[in-house]
Chains A and B, each alone.
Chain A
């Protein structure tokens, strides 16, 4: 009979080993899934995890990795701050969309002027849009004690209707011959967010993501606010005795994650996406939740996790075009990864002990 025994302190070994084990388990389970779908599992896994980095088209796909990883990392860092403090902002997708709309609105309002101040103004507008959208659940939480999980999620659906309205109404390209979608921001020098080095895939969003990862790491490990965030998550009562104001933390964490998600949306709409479309939200805000957990809610871990998740996107697209693997299979794959991660995570806080049968205390399960 196996039983769990709580460790006095979390295991440092398993803290780092968990993500690795989870990725390996996901590869095995995913391989079984792909085999069940009649694909060669080894070929699929190789296409997803190996080819984008070392394969024939790696020169192009490596850049794509950065394009996908940038927004994921940026959003996940913000989410991790909140998750650490026990504040669950799961509406990053909505904040991402609203950030993009605000940024695009500023850029389009300035069209066709050419000024180097337009892009910075759009950056500010994007961050502000995401921040403001996240402030709705934050204020409702602090003022009325409303559940931030449900409110932030409901606002994703609201944001999706707004972006549909924007693409067909107030941000629609007047020269678009009636097709939905805004002007293409990436084709105008003042509003474009181009690759900084040709073929690298690195645009200002990627740079921002890396800078934010470092800032967040410093904040969490070296700053009193980071200490308060961690304390509030691990021991809310102790945090209160320590003078931590929970409402202030909610506003700060929600605001920061909203602003970062808005920034991600801004860099996306000016760069890879180029324009506001009806289906602008592609689920980065939800995948970033997986990235945050895969990175162990640690900013530097999140950078690594962002690249692994980007691999599943880029490699998944390859597998879909070359091997006919449905897109949904990748979604399943990503969901499985989070399951394994959460399951294996038990080993960080508990150890498994063998116990002789018959000594079970009644009800000890």
Chain B
């Protein structure tokens, strides 16, 4: 069952792996943005997570600790963002950009001496004979634990945002911070927690790039994945399940483009490799056209800082 040298089962199984970094980062960013904060530093947090996770995994020999280290690195960087925007009330767009520039620099500094090293491998979850089922086996039972973790996070975030008190408070803060403040909620503290969560998710996504996807360390390894994650949040109208669809669509396009390159397609390699970015732009246009801010589902306070005057 091949189409032009591309096997659809392998394609789906590969795209599930390819999408993990942007899925994790976009899920985290969706939570951050639902609390009314626009953190454009996803790329910076991802790449710091990538090197943080890589160093931890190489030093300890444990890929699980590596992912935790990546999450920690992302969270630490996002704490700077939280400090600047929630305490010093700095402009969120500018601070997010600063985070990316800073993260790229720090990661390249920290990564010196880690080029060309192979990190400890993250094994597949042993499902036994289940993995040998044709078609379903490779797609459902042939992955490492992070793939399943990312899927579980989609469900968990969806449930927390929809059905729990914490999710309701988070959304209230994002939709109307003055009202939330009047009700006695600590707006900036809730946002701080959301930002840290987003940082940890982005960091873990970055760690997946350097520990599983590539797997090694080079400067600028995330190559814009953080920005694509930001675009996917817009595409998904800030909803977790749509984030999953967006991330898998995007992952599918990346895999397809790589397969076409490998299959020696007539389209030059350069044009294929710009396809993911062009398609992201196209999708953004389709999503945002003809609708106002309310219709796209953007949180009303997105990007606005909160300062209690009373």
Contacts and interface: CB of A to CB of B under 8 A. Distances in A.
Instruction: Judge: A and B partners, yes or no.
Output: yes
Nearest to B102: A335
Nearest to B293: A145
B270 A164 contact: yes
A349 B290 CA distance: 37
B224 to A, nearest CB: 5
A88 B93 contact: yes
B109 interface: yes
A157 B227 CA distance: 11
Contact of A158 (B105, B228, B274): B274
B227 to A, nearest CB: 5
B94 A328 contact: no
Given A4-B307, A145-B288, A150-B284, A342 B94 contact: yes
A10 interface: no
Contact of A154 (B271, B281, B292): B281
B101 A334 contact: yes
Interface centre among A150, A286, A327, A362 (most CB of B within 10 A): A150
A94 B181 CA distance: 42
B284 A329 contact: no
Contact of B280 (A154, A293, A361): A154
B188 A365 contact: yes
Contact of A286 (B101, B278, B280): B101
Contacts of B40: 149
Interface residues of A, number: 51
B157 to A, nearest CB: 22
Contact of A362 (B184, B224, B290): B184
Interface residues of B, number: 56
A149 B93 CA distance: 9
Interface centre among A164, A286, A328 (most CB of B within 10 A): A328
Nearest to A339: B98
A331 B112 CA distance: 14
Interface stretch (B82-90, B117-125, B148-156): B82-90
A346 B185 contact: no
Contact of B84 (A140, A158, A164, A343): A343
Interface string B255-295: 00000000000001011011001101100110011111000
Nearest to B189: A365
A162 interface: yes
B289 A146 contact: yes
Contacts of A140: 281, 284-285
Interface in A306-350: 326-336, 338-339, 342-343, 345-346, 349-350
A272 B188 CA distance: 48
Interface centre among B80, B105, B278 (most CB of A within 10 A): B105
A134 interface: no
Interface string B169-195: 000000000000100111011000000
A232 to B, nearest CB: 15
Q: Is the interface of B mostly helix, strand, loop or mixed?
A: helix
Interface string B226-248: 01101100100000000000000
Contacts of B227: 150, 153-154
A157 B275 CA distance: 10
A363 B181 CA distance: 7
A212 interface: no
Contacts of A346: 88-90
Contacts of B185: 363
A45 interface: no
B288 A332 contact: no
A235 to B, nearest CB: 14
B201 to A, nearest CB: 19
B310 interface: yes
B309 interface: yes
Given A154-B227, A332-B102, A161 B270 contact: yes
A342 B87 CA distance: 11
B210 interface: no
A334 B105 contact: yes
Interface in B93-134: 93-95, 97-98, 101-106, 108-109, 112
B53 to A, nearest CB: 18
B234 A147 contact: yes
A332 B97 contact: no
A328 B112 contact: yes
List 10 tightest A-B contacts by C-beta distance, closest first: A335-B102, A331-B105, A328-B108, A144-B289, A332-B105, A342-B90, A328-B109, A338-B98, A165-B270, A154-B277
Given A154-B231, A329-B109, A332-B102, 4 more contacts: A140-B281, A158-B277, A289-B101, A339-B84
15 contacts: A146-B288, A155-B277, A157-B274, A161-B271, A162-B270, A326-B112, A328-B105, A330-B105, A332-B105, A333-B105, A335-B98, A339-B102, A342-B84, A342-B95, A364-B310
